[in-house]
Amino acid sequence: MTVNLTNELAKQRNRDAAERTLMAWIRTCLSLISFGFGLDKIVAAIRSQGDGVVGHAGLGVRLVSMAFVLTGMVAMAAATVQHRRDLRRLNSDVFVYREQRSIATATALSLTLIGAVALAMLAYGGLSL
């Protein structure tokens, strides 16, 4: 079997691109998880300022915070699975292009839903305990 240098270099560029894509997903998901965690802690700290007792964020803020964290976790799992799949396809002798479901679109839809719920909670006074 002869190795075609052009093909091997193209595969390496694609593997490198897959690594950069995974790193971008790691940054995005870490931001989502950190934002959700931070939102809950900041609201809890603000609520505790009045009486000196460590407070908890209201149920509405907690749900939105959990939704951000969950979106980050699910997107990270999906990106990792997609990355492994892409590497397996690139390492095979016959590479066949297949259109895949977009993790970015699913994440954008999740964030749109979270935003809509947050907006509705702000408009109607939110859920608080």
Q: State what percent of residues in the chain have pLDDT above 90.
A: 47
Tokens, residue 60: 């509405």
- Pick from 13-17, 18-22, 79-83, 119-123: least confident: 119-123
Number of C-alpha atoms within 13 angstroms, CB side, residue 125? Answer: 2
Phi-psi region of 57 (alpha: psi -120 to 50; beta: other; left: phi over 0): beta
| Distance from the Cα of residue 125 to its chain's centroid | 28
pLDDT over 60 at 62, yes or no? yes
pLDDT over 90 at 67, yes or no? yes
Tokens, residue 21: 């894509």
pLDDT over 60 at 97, yes or no? yes
pLDDT over 80 at 93, yes or no? no
Average pLDDT over residues 68-83: 96
Q: What is the pLDDT of residue 129?
A: 42
Q: What is the pLDDT of residue 100?
A: 81
Between 56 and 48, name the one with better pLDDT: 48
Q: What is the pLDDT of residue 43?
A: 84
- For all residues of the chain together, what is the average pLDDT? 85
Average pLDDT over residues 76-84: 95
